[in-house]
Amino acid sequence: MPFTTWIKAGTSATALVLATAGAASAAPAVEEPSAQAAVVTLRYDDSRAAGWEAAIAAGVASWNANVSNVRLVEAAPGGAAEIVIVATTGWPQATLGPVRPGRQVRVELGSQAVSDGYNKTRIAAHELGHSLGLPDTKPGPCSQLMSGSSAGTACTNAVPNVTERSRVQSNYASALALPVVTDGRTLIDAP
């Protein structure tokens, strides 16, 4: 084989190897977490919230669909959780966050509100909002998730509005600079 044919074959093979290597290394770079905003994962334990499972799942789904830098995930049985959710007979209440990874807040889903006609999914999403750092906005319209009971028993909205989503996004904007303390107040959501 003449020398120029060797050069052409070698150049083509090198180009093919480099193109293949470049394509292989380029694909993972797109998926690399550093190229995306950091996502804070918060685990919740609802093992003591019998009867509220569907409402909690819907409330979690609402938050996960509406904010991008914090994710709520169910804790493994017996595992650690930042948000402990329990069913009670009183009025719903929660520790005001924003809760940070490794810390813990408590959500009480009170059956008194359900007995009075309030929507379980709205209650669960509202109380999770407290855990994410949102205070009550009472009185307020049904379009504000954090207006809670002041929106009335006919209100079933369990979706945070633009302002509420923005505040949670801001609360979890920098995973590296998150303070380790919460507000610590317990907010009781009675009318």
Q: Which residues are catalytic?
A: 127
d(CA 65, CA 48): 25
- Helix ranges (H only) for the chain are 3-31, 53-66, 111-115, 120-131, 162-171
Whether 105 contacts 182, CB under 8 Å: yes
From the list 112, 135, 99, 109, the residue with the least C-alpha distance to 55 is: 109
Instruction: Find the angle CA(96)-CA(151)-CA(148) to the nearest 5 degrees.
Output: 15
Q: Please identify which residue in the block is written with the tokens 């499972």.
A: 53
From the list 124, 40, 122, the residue with the least C-alpha distance to 85 is: 124
